[in-house]
Amino acid sequence: MCGIVGYIGFRRADQVIISALKRLEYRGYDSWGVAVKHGNSLEIIKRVGAIGDVENYSLAEGNVGIGHTRWATHGKPSEINAHPHTDCNNQIAVVHNGIISNFQSLKEELESRGHKFSSETDTEVIAHLIEEEYRGDLKEAVMKAVERLRGSYAIVVMHAETEELVAARYKSPLVIGVGDGEWFIASDVPAVLDYTNRVIYLEDGDVAKLWNDGFTIWNNGKEVERRVETVPWSIEDAEKGGYEHFMLKEIHENPRVVEETLLEYLEDDIKIDSRIFAGISDILFVACGTSFHACLVGKYLIEGLTGIPVRVEYASEFNYSNPPLSRTLVVGITQSGETADTLEAMRKAKKLGMRVLAITNVLGSTATRVADHVIYTRAGPEIGVAATKTFIAQLIVLYLIAAKISSLPPTEIEELLEELRNIPQKIRQILDREDEISSISNTFAGYENMMYVGRGIGYPVALEGALKLKEISYIHAEGYPAGELKHGPFALLGEKTPVVACVVRDKTYESMLGNIKEIKARESPVIAVADEDDEEIEKFVDYVIRTPSTIPLLTPLTYSVALQLFAYHIARIRGCEIDKPRNLAKSVTVE
């Protein structure tokens, strides 16, 4: 969840690290800190709050340093709990992403031997363990220290006496940036894009040593080679480009994302290897958050087009279940490729002998190495914490998978694909109506509770719409199947609880209108998201967000973009920190 950076080279380390940390604030923004080697000592600065809020800082010149922007797990945000953490003599500094599950027992053991701790964090024990093991070789000390750790970690370590950085990872992402006469280490690619687009993705168990002349990587004590990858993004892709927020920019990138994903996988045929699906009896989706909602859409698509049974489980719950062995294809969907719960579910499925497919946005991420097969979503970097364009890209991949393995006649599949090719233009039409959506958002920005409802394929759209609203506006919002309101949630309806209804003109349409009548009878204001050709809906609701006409099966693509704009403008009107919502981080690398 946190952002970590290390640098060694010819530039001022503090300036490189500050710049890189600003690009990683989507990973954590409770507090931040930087350590730079100056002579034979370490100079450290720590601050509470987002790094972008702090203009005045001063560090001595030095060409080796580490930095961290924090998403708190152990201990409240404070300067004491901010990273880097040091040993008793302030000679060793550590930055860490992850959770050390046995830190309390290690801390008590170290305290019994005279170590003094100043923070509430689990990270501080790492510095003290390395101190105990240090005999003049930092890499060896780190290797011995991490053998004692349980949980997950990506760490970067420096020592006041040496011109080097040592990094280690286990179940938490870490990449080396390969520059010209300089080296970077970071928890995510955007941190290094100002300087290089060549990266090496470290794997679980890797320990890397970086110095002025190069780097070496070990795993299980043996030197290993890792491939240098070229990142297919530019630094401009990771900047706002004139938009007020990254989230708004990324919503407006949806048409391009759809076009590029279709270009990647759709020509005369769908360029997805059908052998992935050969001989399977059913499909199990595992995911978290927005990706879970994509999976629910995928269930409707695949069952409707193929007849293959599909289950969807929260990855965090699947990890505690005992699924039956079968010819199941397990599909893990993770935007970052580093979502801890989803990775653990994929690993469990592999141990049970199941075939595993990963759908992810990040080349070289851990998910790509765990899975048997990988399909990339090609959305480019997404900086806003709330997923927007990556969700749409995930849906496009799921539509293509469903079409690839469909049992429907080829003519019907071609009609679906042809309409899918029209989606970018339809999304542009929604973006052109942004002022209309903003006006409706203004009407509802003052409420503190809202409900979202849908039926059939509109239900996961309602769930995702509610998630977007609660994430960035802090309005309490819940998504429900429309038919379930009368089984309890009706008690919450009234003039202070607006309801957003995702109205799809399919076999659920008449039932949805009946549900809306029931809601209106309880005096709740109703906003419908509906097809522009739906001439009936205005008779039943207070407001309508119109979307271009498309086949019902594709409405998750158009409705979701409209609801992204609806949530964005409510949050903007409320003055919320849209790109960095409180308590949340982009890549959830802890369980």
Q: Please report the pLDDT score of residue 584 as a whole number.
A: 64
Q: Which of 2, 288, 295, 502 is catalytic?
A: 2
**What CA–CA distance (Å, rounded) separates 339 from 196?**
25
Return the exposure string of 41-50: e unless at least 16 CB atoms fall within 10 Å of the residue's CB, then b: ebbbbbbbeb
Q: Please report the pLDDT score of residue 588 as a whole number.
A: 55
Nearest by Cα to 370 from 330, 320, 417, 414:
330
Q: Please report the pLDDT score of residue 10 as a whole number.
A: 92
Q: 410-421 vs 389-404: helix axis angle to the nearest 10?
A: 160
Q: 423-432 vs 555-573: helix axis angle to the nearest 10?
A: 30
Active site residue 299: no
Are the beta carbons of 404 and 371 closer than 8 angstroms?
no
Give residue 577's Cα distance to chain centre: 18
**What CA–CA distance (Å, rounded) separates 121 from 79?**
12
**Angle CA 23–25–30, to nearest 5:** 155
Neighbouring C-beta atoms of residue 584, cutoff 10 Å: 17
Tokens 């393995």 sit on residue: 405
For 405, phi then psi, to 5°, come to -105, 15
Are the beta carbons of 346 and 368 closer than 8 angstroms?
no
| DSSP one-letter code for 363 | T
Strands (E), 487-583: 499-502, 526-531, 543-547
Cβ-based neighbours of 185, under 8 Å, separated by 6 or more: 4, 5, 6, 7, 156, 165, 167, 174, 175, 176, 177, 208, 210
Phi-psi region of 258 (alpha: psi -120 to 50; beta: other; left: phi over 0): alpha
Nearest by Cα to 117 from 147, 87, 93, 92:
87
Q: Please report the pLDDT score of residue 365 as a whole number.
A: 85
Q: Please report the pLDDT score of residue 317 as a whole number.
A: 92
- pTM (2 decimals)? 0.76
Hey, what are 560's tokens? Answer: 């979701």
Q: 555-573 vs 458-473: helix axis angle to the nearest 10?
A: 20
Cβ-based neighbours of 218, under 8 Å, separated by 6 or more: 139, 143, 206, 207, 208, 224
3-class SS string, 90-158: CCEEEEEECCECCHHHHHHHHHHCCCCCCCCCCCHHHHHHHHHHCCCCHHHHHHHHHCCCCECEEEEEE
Sequence letter at residue 399: Y
Hey, what are 193's tokens? Answer: 């894009």
Angstrom CA distances, 577 to 29, 207, 386, stand at 12, 37, 11
Q: Please report the pLDDT score of residue 26 as a whole number.
A: 63
Are the beta carbons of 277 and 435 closer than 8 angstroms?
no
Q: Give all domains of the chain, ordered by start, each with its CATH number.
A: 3-237 (3.60.20.10), 242-421 (3.40.50.10490), 427-580 (3.40.50.10490)
**Angle CA 502–359–563, to nearest 5:** 20
Q: Please report the pLDDT score of residue 587 as a whole number.
A: 53
Q: pLDDT 10s per residue in the chain (591 long)? A: 578 899 999 999 888 988 888 877 766 567 788 899 888 888 888 888 777 654 556 677 889 999 888 766 656 777 788 878 888 888 999 999 888 888 889 888 888 988 888 888 888 889 999 998 999 999 999 999 999 888 888 899 999 989 999 999 988 889 999 999 999 999 888 888 889 989 999 988 999 999 988 899 999 889 999 989 888 766 666 667 778 898 999 999 999 999 989 988 988 789 898 889 999 999 999 999 999 999 999 999 999 999 999 999 999 998 788 776 678 999 999 998 988 899 999 999 999 989 999 999 888 788 998 999 999 998 888 888 899 999 999 999 999 999 999 989 999 999 999 999 999 999 999 999 999 999 999 999 999 999 999 999 999 999 999 999 999 999 999 999 998 888 888 788 899 999 999 999 999 999 999 999 999 988 999 999 999 999 899 999 999 999 999 999 999 999 999 999 999 999 999 999 898 887 665 555 445
Sequence letter at residue 392: I
Q: Please report the pLDDT score of residue 234 as a whole number.
A: 67
Sequence letter at residue 237: D
Nearest by Cα to 336 from 392, 383, 301:
383
User: Residue 109 burial (CB < 10 Å; 0-12/13-18/19+)?
Assistant: middle
Tokens 């060694």 sit on residue: 8
Active site residue 586: yes
Q: Which of 249, 389, 580, 586 is catalytic?
A: 586
**What CA–CA distance (Å, rounded) separates 96 from 72?**
11
* Residues recorded for the chain: 591
